[in-house]
Structure 1
Amino acid sequence: MALSKGSKPNFLFFSTVLFFVSNILNSSNAQNNINRDAFHIAITVDPKTHQYHGSFQSGTPSHNVNPLIDLGGNFLSLPCNTSSSTLRSVPCKSTKCQNLKGVCDPKGACTLSSGTLSDDIVTIHKTDGTMVYADTNSTRLDISCLNSNSRNNNGILGLGRTSNTLTNRLSSTFNIIPKFTLCLPSSNDNGFGDLFIGPGPYMFAGGVDGSSLLQFTGLVLSPTSNEYFVDVKSVKIDKRVVHFDSQTVIIGSTKLSTTVPYGILHSSVYKAVVGAFVKSTAARNITRAAAVKPFGACFSVEGVRWTKLGPRVPLIALELSGRMGKLSWNINGANSMVRVDKNTLCLGFVDGGVKATTSIVLGGHQLKDNFLEFDLSRSVLGFSSSLQPGTCSNLRNF
């Protein structure tokens, strides 16, 4: 039907209205389709062992589990509830058992070094990065049910570079990006830390996305280990490069570990770092004190100024490679020093001996209150350096 001259303005008006209504609806749908396929596990720190534990639920009916977080762990091991109606043992002759090199127990179940291979329901909270939802996602996952000889009664939440870890299983099951982010708390006084599994954002108080704080460096692949390494080019103390005497030690791959409480250095590296650190503290009129095991370099708190970044001591910086050039992972006093008593501070690194297979290991004390994003799809680590004066317990937006 042909339009009359008088109907053209009306047609254009309604077309314009339709265009804007369509855009509004599309925008609304886009907001409703925000990717919420990310998961959140709360982290607490054991004040005695200085190790970190995740908290979620397992079994039917569900019960709380608090496994040790192990960056190099290969599997999810839990104290299984044998009365769980959804718990199933994996047959020893199954392909799954054979792939994991399990063996048969007298009942025909698959056993691993850590316990009996089973599967059960695991329940974890969802997040969109701005809040953690009350609703949860339950999925069936492979679990190693701890045996009576297990050294850790809470189990182990392995985050290593294998397909059997919780993070990788959730990524493949829910088709989300293989990425996880850690923020280890320095204490439990102000709440918990965070393990995010999946994509960001990671909203902090004030509307800051935690990912905007990150610098990125490549993860180093090891043919013999599922742990995470970065390539440290040099170590600086108060902007001066530390020189190492032994030519048999190559700084290179530095390991990140959540299971050792303090940094561990090969003896040659340790002696050079401690020597340079002591020299710099002397220049600041900080008095050396008697060593307190396991530490070798301790200092009197007298004369030490305290800042928002912890005790004001020489800055330790690890030089790394980034896409745009050199990067610096700064280790301030809050992450380099340990208060062993009211009068004494110690450098939070220990001597790993001459047979140490890794030149530098950064332990939980160095990693706490740092924001660390492990992007497994790109083999990249995002790191913030210290979040001080904020902490992992009080910076989040929820």
Structure 2
Amino acid sequence: MRIFKFLFLSVLFVGLYSCSSSDDNGSAGSASISITPSTSTQIIGEPITFTVKTDADEDVTATSNITSGSTILQNATLNSYTVGNFVVKATYGGKSASVTVTFTDAPPTSIILLANSTNLSQGDKTTFTVKTNTGINITQSAVIKVDGNPITGGEFTSNVPGSFNAIATFENFTSETVTIVYNPAINFRKRVLIEDYTGTWCGYCPRVAQGIDLVMAQTEYAVPVAIHRGQDPYNFAGASVLESLIGLQGYPDARLNRLTAWAYPEPSNVSQVISYTEGTAPKLGLAMTANVSGGNVSLTVKTKFGKTMTGVKLVVYALENGLIYNQTNYTSYYGGGSTIVGFTHNHVLKATYTNILGDEIPSSESVYDNTYTKTYSFPVPTNVSNSANMEFVAFVVGADKKAINVRKAVSGDDQSFEIIE
């Protein structure tokens, strides 16, 4: 009898493994599996059981590996005494599938559909969240439709203006309708920031200065900033963090909109800079009111958002023009010669009124059609030789640390936003 039983098991073992590969538990040819809970929501203390099937509708629950986190589920059953969402994963034959289930301390009586914003500009993303009235997040298990069309990942974007109605369903519950309004985006004049890392001691730096002169002769929409470094009467010590940001290797180094290298040789690549003032208009604009009087600076910077943005920061500089100092020169520009005597240094960075990497604009302020206003009042910086030659630069950087748009002003300016119809 024992011999017969051994032979039977041996034949069964060989039979099973002779028709399956090393990553197939016996369902040869199945392309996928699915895992289905007995219910997607359960009261804590009560079980949820799971069924695993192949794409051929073969029930393989008993031979599947079913886990929740690092816990292996026995008898394909999950029970929790903690409220929350749980991801349950099934693995079989080298294939896997997962499902999210929810344990709640009381059965829900309704569901609520929430949107991160209901007033946006075209192209913005709406993120939806679905919760039970008991506070359980069931977004992954709910079905969300916008104007009758299901969306995936709880996100929706419209590239055209209009109103859109969203609704969520979950089991036998239906949420109230949430209306999302997409407004036409507001476009602004596009300007380019040039940050020139330079020095009076730097013999090749006149090359970038010449490039800036050529740019300024072709467009009024470029905003240069000369950041002097090293053994220099205009050295701006606070620039080291910027040099780390761009990975500066030597001088000169010129960057467009903070991060993009202006291609060498700069005077031959003016078109690169000009291209940054053309093309798709930014959805953010700036306007400044500036006044320098009695040894004090009063500056108001307004930022208007043509679409909702996140992770944006404002940077404000104080510069000085018309500074006369000899410039070392290894180039043929400005008449050549090893020293340019009495060279005029313009757009020299003297102070920052924000963190040099930017002060965060609250997400509650960086929303469609809102104007964020900051006012600065400071004494004229002690390193400024002539306050009448001061100018101010404000720009906003995105979460990627690139400048989105920039504007400059001088004392007496009372600017309005440069909106493009």
Report the TM-score when normalising by structure 1.
0.21
Instruction: Give the structure with higher Rg (CA).
Output: 2
Bigger relative contact order (CA 8 A; separation at least 6): 1
